[in-house]
Chains A and B, each alone.
Chain A
Amino acid sequence: MPVSRLPARTSPLTERDNPMADVVRVTDLVKTYYLESVTVQALRGVSLTVEEGDFVALMGPSGSGKSTLLNQLGCLDRPTSGHYYLGDEDVSQMDDDQLSEIRSRFLGFIFQSYNLLPQYTVVENVEIPLLYQGIKLTERTREWCIHLATLVGLGDRLDHRPMQLSGGQQQRVAIARALVNNPHVILADEPTGNLDSRTSDEIMERLQQLNNTGKTIIMVTHENDIASWGKRVIRMRDGHIETDERNQHRTIGKALANDGVNFNGFSQLPVNV
């Protein structure tokens, strides 16, 4: 069953008049979990807009609802009430199949524990979102995946399995995988949580470069160092947004900034692959 409201291959963004408008718009989002005898209000009415090209760091202590919000934004779950517009689509009313389709077409995920499939090689891992998007895997899509793997610096490890890679390398595979469908939003859940500080910086620089090419990134973290890479820092507490401010002291990557890696490739995904 195709997503009826989404004509194939057109994004919620392309037909809009203002290309720099909000890519994510959340209004009064409530998420309540009903456990056995306890009712947990994870989100108590969150409203938020994210512009295209923004780099948001979502912070807060554990239990503040930041992970729940990220799951909502990642279309992994539906809100108890409220609305979530991705582009112009109200995805909060979609069913499971439609949400799956949204995830495969318009979202990229980066997880704390990389979440690569151990049985697959680097290239095969990168290919997965295309597979579920229903794109026929051809030489051309394979070239695209190899291109992405090369961009994140893994051009010489295309046929390695995740077990043969270091944590930083695995996370770079995950970045390539998050880019393969040319997503509108990249959602990162503590992308550096399992990495040492040097590797963390490297990963963050790559994300920053991605952001420089126009990718919208929403990242959950509880480390101030990491959050300082974002253009905008949102702090949450008890299911509410506590503060939401522009980051005045942004960390800017140095080492990779001018090393000639061209991330413009990400915006050149042949949409009709």
Chain B
Amino acid sequence: MYLLLYLVLGLLLLAGIFVPLLYWDKGRRSLILAIRSLWLHKMRAFLSVLGIIIGTGAVIALMAFGEGSMQEALNDIRKLGATNIIVRSRRPPENSATAGRSRVAVYGLTKADYHRFAVLQEGGTVTRMVPMRDFKQEMRRYHLMYTGRAVGTTEDYAAVNDLPMALGRFLLHEDRSNVVVLGSQVANALFPFENPLGKDLRIGQSPYTVVGVLKSRSAVGDSGGQEMEDYNNDVYIPLDACNEHFGSTITNRQAGSFQREQVQLSQVTLTVSDIDKVRTTGEWIKAILSTHEKADWSVSVPLDKLEAAEREKGRFMILMGMIAGISLVVGGIGIMNIMLATVTERTREIGIRRALGAKRRDITMQFLIEAVVQTTIGGVLGVMIGLTIVFIMPPIFEFWSAHLPAKVHVPSIFLSLIVAVAVGVGFGLYPAYRAAMLDPIEALRHE
């Protein structure tokens, strides 16, 4: 829809250049002559503007694909929440001397940390804190079994992570009993033929009643190296119930060995009231956590990633611009080449015009207009080809089950059109000057 508007704007821009020419006799004559002589040498004209066509087409297409993938990366980061700060427990590097198979690894965020964060909430900078504890767990319903991620958390988790409900409700602060909200995949696996609401299932050793099912949601990842979070495999239970039933120590059975971990909270997500305070709040949190003996925590600020991604986008666009610039310069050289040939070919015409009273600047204008007409037509064709590529390529990639996001970068259309006109002026100037400087007598004698 907007595209149409921008196309109209682009045409208006071109009209702005060429309509005044039409009201100026010599300009109109030169314009008509330029179009006529281009039409006369269609193939040559096409080949000479091919550089411009490919240049602008490439700019439009590359910018669109660049913009598309950047946009997607930014959206992923935005889903994490630009005002959020995510504090995670991290398993500290194993010290080989003390590492024992039966030892319980104690690390990570504690409830004490959580309460210290609460100071920030009292101060008003943090509006929401969502504690969370997750571990792998088996879920059973009669003979059906599913291994997923059990997440002990509170009501706000759904809001912070943008989890829409398919059925029922999410957890509530009042929930103290054994209630559970299922991820879509879990619900499908354990309740293949029935509505899970109100039914029971076992998580570990304890029975839980289903109160809600989440909508299926595509996994969220980001370019910053954070692991993908697949919410469809999750079951959500109240944090208190989780601590009660599973205790503080979790045993992971791995290929013939046990690994015992004691982690009080896997993650705390804090929402900051104001985007400007995100970074300082992050620093405070780091200061609070710096009392830990080991580096068993990490603070991630999506805003940082967002800004880094935006900086990266800026760099990318500059790079694209440079590629575009090079290709347009190459195209311009093609134009210059052909214009020089044209001037030689039409030396006699120049002589005739000079004899009949054309001033040097009339000749200059004539050849300049011819060059600009060529590059402008090339630019318009290039934009059209570029847009065609932008609209055709993603479905083709889809067909090969690859993903190629594309979003037309509107300024690049204007920019490349303006550059095409400028290339016409820039590279047309020298041939036009050469034409104007010809001696009329010599030019008339030229065969």
Q: Which residues of A contact B (CB under 8 A)?
A: 71, 74, 76-77, 96-97, 100-101, 103-105, 109, 111, 115-117, 119-120, 128-129, 131-133, 136-137, 177, 181
B residues 345-379 in Cβ contact with A at 8 Å:
348-349, 351-360, 362
| Cβ–Cβ contact B359 & A131, under 8 A | no
| Cβ–Cβ contact B357 & A103, under 8 A | yes
Q: Which residues of A contact B354 (CB under 8 A)?
A: 76, 100
| Cβ–Cβ contact B353 & A128, under 8 A | yes
Given the known A-B contacts A97-B359, A100-B358, A132-B359, are A117 and B440 also in contact in the complex, defined by CB atoms under 8 Å? no
Cα distance, A271 to B355, chains bound together (Å): 21
Closest partner residue, chain A, to B25 (CB atom): A137
Given the known A-B contacts A131-B29, A136-B25, are A100 and B352 also in contact in the complex, defined by CB atoms under 8 Å? no
Q: List 25 A-B residue pairs with CB atoms under 8 Å apart, sorted by A's residue number.
A: A76-B354, A77-B440, A96-B359, A96-B360, A100-B354, A100-B358, A100-B360, A101-B357, A103-B356, A103-B357, A104-B356, A104-B357, A104-B358, A109-B356, A116-B352, A117-B349, A117-B352, A119-B36, A119-B37, A119-B40, A129-B356, A132-B359, A133-B357, A137-B25, A181-B357
The answer to whether the Cβ of B33 comes within 8 Å of any Cβ in the partner chain is: yes
Q: Which residues of B contact A128 (CB under 8 A)?
A: 353, 356
| Cβ–Cβ contact B26 & A131, under 8 A | yes
Q: Which residues of B contact A133 (CB under 8 A)?
A: 357
Cα distance, A101 to B354, chains bound together (Å): 10
Given the known A-B contacts A104-B356, A109-B356, A119-B36, are A132 and B441 also in contact in the complex, defined by CB atoms under 8 Å? no
Q: Which residues of B contact A (CB under 8 A)?
A: 25-26, 29, 33, 36-37, 40, 348-349, 351-360, 362, 440-441, 444
CB distance from A126 to the nearest CB of B (A): 11
Cα distance, A120 to B346, chains bound together (Å): 14
Cα distance, A97 to B364, chains bound together (Å): 13
Q: Which residues of A contact B444 (CB under 8 A)?
A: 76, 111, 115
Cα distance, A138 to B174, chains bound together (Å): 89
Cα distance, A177 to B354, chains bound together (Å): 14
Cα distance, A96 to B36, chains bound together (Å): 29
CB distance from A143 to the nearest CB of B (A): 16
Given the known A-B contacts A131-B25, A131-B26, are A77 and B356 also in contact in the complex, defined by CB atoms under 8 Å? no
Q: A71-B441, A100-B358 are in contact. List 5 more A-B contacts (CB 8 A).
A: A96-B360, A101-B359, A128-B356, A131-B26, A132-B353
Cα distance, A117 to B349, chains bound together (Å): 7
Q: Which residues of B contact A181 (CB under 8 A)?
A: 357
| Cβ–Cβ contact B355 & A103, under 8 A | yes
Q: Which residues of B contact A74 (CB under 8 A)?
A: 355
Q: Which residues of A contact B36 (CB under 8 A)?
A: 119
Closest partner residue, chain B, to A138 (CB atom): B25
In order of increasing CB-CB distance, the 9 nearest A-B pairs are A104-B357, A132-B357, A100-B359, A103-B357, A115-B352, A132-B358, A129-B356, A76-B440, A128-B356
Instruction: Identify the interface centre among B26, B353, B355: most chain A CB within 10 Å of its CB.
Output: B355
Cα distance, A133 to B359, chains bound together (Å): 10
| Cβ–Cβ contact A132 & B360, under 8 A | no
Contact of A177 among B29, B356, B358 (CB under 8 A): B356
